[in-house]
Structure 1
Amino acid sequence: RTRNFQDLKESSIRDQVFDLIEFVYIPTLHRLGFYQLKSELEDRVMEYRHPDVYKSIQKKLDEGAEARKKLIAEFTKPIKKELDEHGMKYVIKSRTKSKNSIWTKMQKQDIPFEKVFDLWAVRIIIDSEPKNEKADCWHVYSVLTNIYTPNLNRLRDWITVPKETGYESLHATVQTPDKQWVEVQIRTNRMDDEAENGMAAHWRYKGGKAGQGIDFWLQNIRESLENTEKSRMSFSLSSKKFSNEVYVFTPTGQVKKLRLGSTVLDFAYAIHTDVGNQFSSATVNGKIVQIDHVLKNGDQVNIITSKHNRPSADWLKIVVDPRTKSRIKKALDEARQIEIAKGKELIERRFKNWKEDFNQEVIDALVQHYKLKKITDLYYLISLEKIDILDIKKWLSEKDAPQEVVDDEAIIKQFEEHEVEESSADDILIIDKLDNINYNLAKCCNPIPGDEIFGFVTVSKGISIHRTNCPNAAQMRERFPYRVIESKWKSQSQPNNLRVSIFVEGEDQMGLITKITQVISNELKITIANMNFDSKDRKFKATLSLKVLDLPTLEVLMGKLRELKGVNAVYR
């Protein structure tokens, strides 16, 4: 019917028709996810009800079209260059706000057209594997904010916590060199498809079969409404009972709408998170049932709780609602954090009693000894008594014992594999009391000015420089003392940016990665050469390759990062 608006303008019933469009069609289209058609109808209603304003905004948009095109090209050029260098597969799109959206903003903020600065926005759509989606989006965000200054108050992280509608995207607002604010949306192909095509796309990605469920039905409606060639076609809308929802009742008669397949545990969390977390048992229609009992339409459910009960990881296999799973994971994570704190306090107290140093080197060695991935895993298992404190004491007494070493030449070759491929071009070291000697900075420990160091003479790659607490240091000194030479840093008149890697572990929570990059780039002006982000079970581990001047600078940075809420550990 959008094609017949001109006829409606001459019709005596045009006011009624436009009222129907404004107050019925447009809200309905918004709920169904037909955003493109909704925006078009809003502009048509505006054109009819406020023709002078509509024409004025249209004229100003037309006049500035070429300038906007040039601005968008200039804005996206450095982004494309950096993303290409990072090997990202992507598409960059731009859009101009609808005339109705512009006018709405002018009214809300009481400003003229010339003061609406976000007339256009940019969308970066990346090709990413499902398991890498979150990391890839934050990777693009890191690239973007290294080019333009971000406004952290306008950051919207709907990747970590999607909207209730399922919308996923990372929205950043950045400032160009000419002080203009631009909104950038970062999402993957899957996220973009679901955002543009609503739940029909979500159904497709989740593997739904054609013809099943209300999402497929809504997709048929969408295609009919948006395909003008088929606008005159009539198709029947089946009134079948779609079986993707169930309606059940509380003991007081309150109706609760749940997903198909929901259990009594889903129902408990639908009442309140605390009710779910303290679930003990349930009755359905007056009969006691198991925790995994699946509900049917019309069931009356009563939940029995106990303040001593806590969620179990097995509950995640029972519930079907993603929001319920999220609440259980949060409760499990909070319980885990309590156990981690207990384990840390216990091991620190025992080390103090044993008069042993409890430092980062010892912690890392224990994590490696028990073949764990993170420091927090160590504390957690200690608290649960899955790691015996007496075993740790035994390990301490044996850790200084000499270890059997394989062939000398094989070890030397192993050490050489850790060396930097190119020699340093700067004369920043005094080696064996001599200046201007070629050397390599070892990759295995990444020494920087301020670190205590020593030199190691290799067979084919000259002298390699290691930190005295390098993981390989003890073996080098014991097996090849004749190859170890004294080395120290010069006092530098010119600063040297040297590469060093640090590791950050913490909670995978909204905005934390942004705060970390802000501390590094904005507060301390340190260059991020590379960043790798790995997330699993609501935890993350970031490997940051930085260029720093010296050890004091690095220590200040690590101290600031440890102060951030959600960061559990920072180490080299």
Structure 2
Amino acid sequence: MRQFELVERVKSYDPGADEDLLNRAYVFAMKVHGSQVRHSGDSYFSHPLEVAGILTNYRLDCATIVAALLHDTVEDTDTTLDDIRKLFGQDVANLVDGVTKLNRLQISSDHAKQAENFRKLLIAMSKDIRVLLIKLADRLHNMRTLRFIDKPEKRRRIANETLDIYTPLAERIGMAEIKTELEDLAFAETQPEAREAILTHLSHLRDEGSSVVNRIMDQLVRTLRKHDLKAEVSGREKTAYSIWRKMGSKNISMEKLTDILAFRIIVDSVEECYRALGFIHAAYPMIPDRFKDYISTPKPNKYQSLHTAVIGPERQRIEVQIRTREMHEISELGVAAHWSYKQGTPALGEPQYRWIRELLDILEKADSPEEFLENSKLEMYADQVFCFTPKGEVIGLPNGSTPVDFAYAVHTEIGDHCVSAKINGRIVPLHHLLRNGDQVEIGTSRAQTPNPDWEVFVVTGKAKASIRRHTRLQRRGESISMGRQYLERAFRVAGHSVSDKALEGVLKHFRVSELDDLFYAIGENAIHPRDVITQVGGPIIRTKLPPIIRPAPPKSRSDAKSRPGIRGLVPNMAMSFAKCCHPLPGDRIVGIVVSGRGVTVHTIDCEQLVQYNNESERWLDLSWDDDAGGGTSHVGRLEMNIRNDPGALAAVTSVVAKGKGMVRSMKTTLRRADFCDMIIDVEVSDLRHLTSIISSLKASSAVHSVVRARH
């Protein structure tokens, strides 16, 4: 494309464009790239020119086209941002800066470098969405010329990065054309044989079924005209990549896919969309669970359409999309369809850009660039469910999301303090999977904090980032506390006292900036107290120090509430109950110190204590507080032999319930024709409570024998 052709393209949709600015940018970019060549052997300047050409197809403003021409000048030539700012203005300089890679950044791995570049791109596009549009056009042209790169591993890395990051970004802003082409180009590199097989099969179906497709389209048109509804009907073949993904998600072969072809109906108004839907459903049987109304509840990127699947003409199973012309333009062009070069960039406060704010939240909470990139990928996945707040606001979430994901999507504070959830008025567990159309109500409590166990079932990047951040901060606080305690104990054993002022004098030696960092390093076993005492000026410790006990957050909120006070523990010491003997308030107990895990509490007669007979330094003399059993729950394990009769198990659970206990788990260990051996875990308040339930079970005709488990 020659200089005057580019200018004419821009002037065709923006007569007021700054022609001089465009000409100067064209000449400047051509000059500074000079004799540089690409892998294909073409002049390097052909690349920014193609990127600018792609963006003119979306009728973007003059500054964006100029920035596209200049987007590689800072990275690949001696040009600086100050040069761009002086010659082309602040607006263009900001766009170029947003797209420029961190090529001079010294990072240990390609993955970390990719994460840093994405972080910078996110920050830039959060200020101006045009940065993302330029970056997508840049990636599109690079993918079109990917075959010229010699190294297969580099081509594959670029293709995978495209699928992981850039196609989800294109989908999020509704750039369907760019998304589809990027997917196909990346698919050709990552799975060439699979793509070729799918394309061959599609070609075969096309040759065999071309007349069928035309007949289906004709019948759909006649069906609508019968009701005086004028519409444009077209057929659309699914892409090879979308077929590949569907085959993988449904675990079926291509021969079993029934909706490779989709038909699109375009009408003049929203009212006609619903009329057309009614006529199609009246004429052809609808396939259950395949109807989606994105008109009344648009996708976050403003996509609107009616989707349905029917057993259509000639008994063919077909997918039908119904939309207006304006909706069709938005579905193909996304954010660019709303673009007005006279009004400036769209406001990022609009609902379709909510996901950018969520990515920024992830960036703030991430501990490393790699963690940020991982969570961002989770956040950008395209497949979504749409749920409602009690006030009717639509929240889009990835498939597999839970009420905790929903809570974090509404607001970070709600997610952090989430304690319960109602779906359509019914209380459900926090790990419940959400479905399209669910109305979700979240219960909160200021006493609640993010639970580390939530990370097992949440799927959104924002939820994972928030939970990890809380866990990280909690762990740091505990490590600081334990590090300080351990250092003070070490000084006492050495016969010395220590002050914060003395410790501050050795911070530089250990390459930390403040005391908390020193205590944290000690708590994490990165620095030994002996080395600190040596630097402060005391003698080296000869006495064997007790192990550092690694504090850890409770596994679940319910466990935290059920933990009673136990005498004999060091403050902030991590503690857990042994799974071998299940100690209860009322049992005599002992603690065993395990380095890195804290203290495990056993009953005094537990068989597992034999292995620690020669390690007396590990033993702690513990006892229950007087109110240990009040208002808390603990697990008692029972070994039972019950009749193998109908109703026997119900009788057992009924006895436990009447005794105000709760069955947590049941396991059949041996089944005979007449009796079954079982292990049952029961939630009780203390030993007396468990003994009472055992007595009641012994009186039941369904129970042959029951004892407390001791292994």
Please tell me the TM-score bracket, short chain as reference.
0.3 to 0.5
Structure number with higher strand proportion:
1
CA radius of gyration, larger in: 2
TM-score in terms of structure 1 length: 0.35
